[in-house]
Structure 1
Amino acid sequence: MTPSGGFTAEDLMRLRGLPRHTELIDGNLVPAAPQGKWHSRVINLLVAELDRQAPAGLRADREMTVRLAKRQAPEPDVVVVTAEAYERDEPSTYYVPEDVVLAIEAVSPDSEERDRDTKPRKYAKAGIRYYWRVENDEGRTVVYLYERDPATECFSLTGIHHDQLKTTAPFTIDIDLTSVGKRSA
């Protein structure tokens, strides 16, 4: 039963027996649906490449809660965080917005609305500077890059990448999007 006013981030961290990857959005617990192969494989590629290409002060991580506010604790598919946050012992189950340089969501059928609208608004409001939305367009991986405008506290689209993702923000990145699911050489 949902408490009056909804669940809090504290509740999410304390509750036991929740399905894996349960998020807290607007005080509501949102369990993740089973993910398809593309979803898992694109996350694997992004975590590996972002961690490999990140400068020394940054690290990539997967499927970790980001405690944005009292009733907001989403779980991005991929985050790039400070190396200090990545390596610290506590908290061990979540990051805070100040830790996060980039949040990434790989869209699946059950998460379209949240990944295209709800979560980006929450990430921007919390001060996260970069957001990427990754979509499977009939077997082709497409990445939409956004940067937070400090004047509006909203994300603005800065690029759409097919086949090859090349950008210099938040650091120099070059990822072959056609390699999703392929073994690295």
Structure 2
Amino acid sequence: MDSPPPFWCEVLRQLQSELSEFALEAWIRPLVIREEGDQLRLLAPSPFHKKRVESCFLTRIRDIAAGHSSRPINVAVELLSQEPNPARRRHATPRAAAARSMGAKPTPRPRQPALPHSFETFVVGRANSLAREASLALAQGRQSGVSPLLLVGPTGNGKSHLARAVITEARQNGIERSRHASAEAFTT
């Protein structure tokens, strides 16, 4: 694996003095740094991460890099998945193509792990009783033609608990096509 250019340590040091530790750990340190000629590529692990770095940090990173690089350099944020993947290319062989053409079954999608929440452990109150009933009806299949569930409310009303309980209950009722997604995962 390539090591970042020498001036990247100076960029990090400067950002460390300007950003909170959380921002540095959450958004800057996960980036994979590549220097190719006069281009500094910041490879982000997800589209959401890429957008956040571009909108919040890229201008400052460019300014700092320009001040510490010995030559003009272009800074760009890209997705890490756009990097060539030798493992992916290995599966794109004539044998794999032949297996696909002969009707080989695709490998099943991995199942989301079991979620630890249930309706039995949910604490019902005035602020969340309607949400619980709607969630339970959806999980038990009592609402035909309705599948999305949007839970909105203040902190502490059990939105995450209910969302995970729906998945747990749905799986117990034989409904396998259900998935929990956080807001970050849903928007990417």
TM-score by length of 2: 0.26
Bigger Cα Rg: 2
Larger proportion of helix: 2
Task: Report the TM-score, using the length of structure 1 for normalisation.
Answer: 0.26
